[in-house]
Structure 1
Amino acid sequence: MGSTQKKKLTPFQHVEGVRKGHRASIAQTITLIESSAAKHFEDAQSVLEQLMPYTGKSVRIGITGVPGAGKSTLIEELGMQLCESGFKVAVLAVDPSSSVNRGSILGDKTRMGRLSKHPDAYVRPSPTGGNLGGVAKKTRETMLVCEAAGYDVIIIETVGVGQSELTVRSLVDFFMVLMLTGGGDELQGIKKGLMEIADAVFINKADGSNKQPAELAKAEYNRLLHFLQPASPGWETKAYTVSALTGEGMDNIWNVIQSFKQTMKGNGHFDQRRREQVSEWMERLMIDELTSSFYQNEQLQEHFAQNKKLVQDGEKPLRKAIQELMEEYRQIQQKKEK
């Protein structure tokens, strides 16, 4: 019985299951695509190629936030509202630390218990990619699978505050940042960096005794945003208040996203950004592949270590060492071709 369940699916079966929106098929296909095993690569790429015509029709939303901003609660509330309005919502996470501590594997579904059980929602934990680049590469392909399965809103959340915000920005159409009132001076640098790439800033937990301070924080952020270059041409980034707890201001999030999409579609930047993102990803993956190809060769690894020591000891010029290593790499590649 068990062996029947574990029977390997063909690329066609993966594609068929995804297109029908079968959750088990979607999960199996994403697992195949996330696999680093060489034996899965061809099947995974075949599946992606067949799914490509059905991708690109969703709104891709990136959400990040300062620690304690209530990101998970807000994403779940937003997701539930959208599902109840007839949308299909997929939530993906970018968490480079998950490859070390497996922290998000259980976390996402535990934190978003209601949303993950909704028939029109799909919550996927962060892939374990070993580094931010690996996680992002898999998340991008997972997003395409979800689009092909009919999810028309894709939410990609960052876990924690670090380098992952810029990576998620490069995956999405609309990028929003969750803030809190106060937060102290230690967060000022983080806040400014986040606002420079944001299409909207939402001050969460604007309820109870915190409502008035949240309104003051909104005014302060709007003053600062006025002096920053907009993250998206032709769009003015503004700050808003919201309470994921009471639901006040939640409707406005989707209104802002819809307004943004309409504006960007109107000025041509929506499609242009997507084309630029694909181009950037292609260049990035090309560099990753070349780097991997170089460092996987044991002979080159050994010679790299020797040359590095010579450069560190001041016995060989840096560029000469690199030139020699690249020449050796080219010769190895030529031998492979023969």
Structure 2
Amino acid sequence: MSPRRVLTADDYFDGVRGQNVSMLARAFTLVESSSQRHIPIAEELLTRLMPFTGGGLRIGITGAPGAGKSTFIEALGLLLVAKGLRVAVLAVDPSSGVTGGSILGDKTRMAKLAAEDNAFIRPSPSAGTLGGVANKTREIMLVAEAAGYDVILVETVGVGQSETMVAEMTDCFLALMLPGAGDELQGIKRGLLELVDVIAVNKADGANRKPALLAAQQYHNALDSISGHASDAAPAILTCSALHQEGVDDVWDAITKRCESSKQSKKFEHRRRQQNLRWLWSIVEDRLRQTLHTHPGVQEICDDVESRVLVGEMPPAAGARQLFAALKLDHE
């Protein structure tokens, strides 16, 4: 049996641009890889794909467990496919503590959408990343755009981590809420209200219809009193039932109106430029941390420094200075 040929950046590039689903999945895996053997190829691929990126609409979707994120995303994805759009779903799953892999299996939770030719679902383990966003979600979005996907939906874990990260990589940030807003309003974060562009109270059907309308009104009142939004920048607040596909089109209309308004005021491109800048420094900080932990000089003194800080013999600032000196970065 002949050995499997090692794929080159040309192979990945042609596969992505040619909308080859199998090669697209392999390109995603390449970009997500932390292997030193894969990183140069992934960087070359992304550099070559950059001229073909930026055309997709990037939508972040968050919400507490039980809010119906997967059901909503499938309903929205099916609606968009019916409109002739190509949809990529980056569904970030909680990571398995044993294997580090995804544990929820979004393709099984979105079976109808997964069967559509113009939809692609990519479950990715969050691996403990803050915000419930996988480490390479930004890169995966670029690859999806270069493959011709019109809408990129990013589903977060939604288990209480900082949601700033998803807002900093998308064009519109949607929060799914549940009917019966009383308890949730008590715990709603001012920071979340400042980040979201659209709030949708899901499961507004049957006996939940009236509680959902009440919850929407309470969110309106809460925004008026604590959000500090200008009237034209306040999040749109709607109700919907993803299970019965009611009101999902209204939520999509609210998303597109927000994005169009942002483009007309030039905020859209400014937001993306600022996201790229934050992305740059996020990568720098991540690689600096990796370098610090793997540097031989740092490893040689790390245990001693940690032990002395642990028992109170050395201030943490002095310990940090010693570690950076070992890394040859402290020039003072």
For normalisation by structure 1, the TM-score amounts to: 0.89
What is the identity, as a one-letter code, of the residue corresponding to 2:33? S
Match of 1:196 in 2: 194
Classify the secondary structure of the residue corresponding to 2:242: coil
Give runs of aligned pairs for residues 173-184 of structure 1, distance below 5 A. 173-182=171-180
Matched positions, count: 331
Give runs of aligned pairs for residues 71-220 of structure 1, distance below 5 A. 71-98=69-96, 100=98, 104=102, 107-127=105-125, 129=127, 131-132=129-130, 136-163=134-161, 165-182=163-180, 185=183, 188-190=186-188, 193-220=191-218
What is the identity, as a one-letter code, of the residue corresponding to 1:321? G
State the 1:264 CA deviation.
0.5
**Which piece of structure 1 moves more, 45-54 or 242-251?**
242-251
Contact in 2 for aligned 1:93/1:158 (Cα 8 Å): yes
Contact in 2 for aligned 1:105/1:125 (Cα 8 Å): no
State the 1:298 CA deviation.
4.0
Give runs of aligned pairs for residues 35-54 of structure 1, distance below 5 A. 35-54=33-52
**Which piece of structure 1 moves more, 307-316 or 24-33?**
307-316
Contact in 2 for aligned 1:94/1:164 (Cα 8 Å): no
5+ long unaligned stretches in structure 2: none
> 1:197-247 CA distances to partner (integer Å, 9 max, x unpaired)?
211110111111211111111111111112344679952213211011222
Q: 1:229 to 1:134 in 2, by over 3 A?
A: closer
Give runs of aligned pairs for residues 221-260 of structure 1, distance below 5 A. 221-229=219-227, 234-260=232-258
Classify the secondary structure of the residue corresponding to 2:85: coil
- Structure 2: how far apart are the matches of 1:108 and 1:125? 6
Q: 1:269 aligns with which of 267, 270, 285?
A: 267
Identity of aligned residues (%): 46
**Alignment RMSD:** 2.6
**Which piece of structure 1 moves more, 323-332 or 242-251?**
323-332
State the 1:183 CA deviation.
6.2
Contact in 2 for aligned 1:76/1:114 (Cα 8 Å): yes
- Structure 1: how far apart are the matches of 2:135 and 2:215? 36
State the 1:40 CA deviation.
1.0
- Structure 2: how far apart are the matches of 1:154 and 1:207? 27
State the 1:261 CA deviation.
0.9
- Structure 2: how far apart are the matches of 1:159 and 1:250? 21
Q: 1:332 to 1:133 in 2, by over 3 A?
A: farther
State the 1:311 CA deviation.
3.2
Classify the secondary structure of the residue corresponding to 1:8: coil
Q: 1:325 to 1:159 in 2, by over 3 A?
A: closer
Q: 1:133 to 1:157 in 2, by over 3 A?
A: closer
Higher helix share: 1
> 1:40-78 CA distances to partner (integer Å, 9 max, x unpaired)?
111111111111110111110001112211111110010
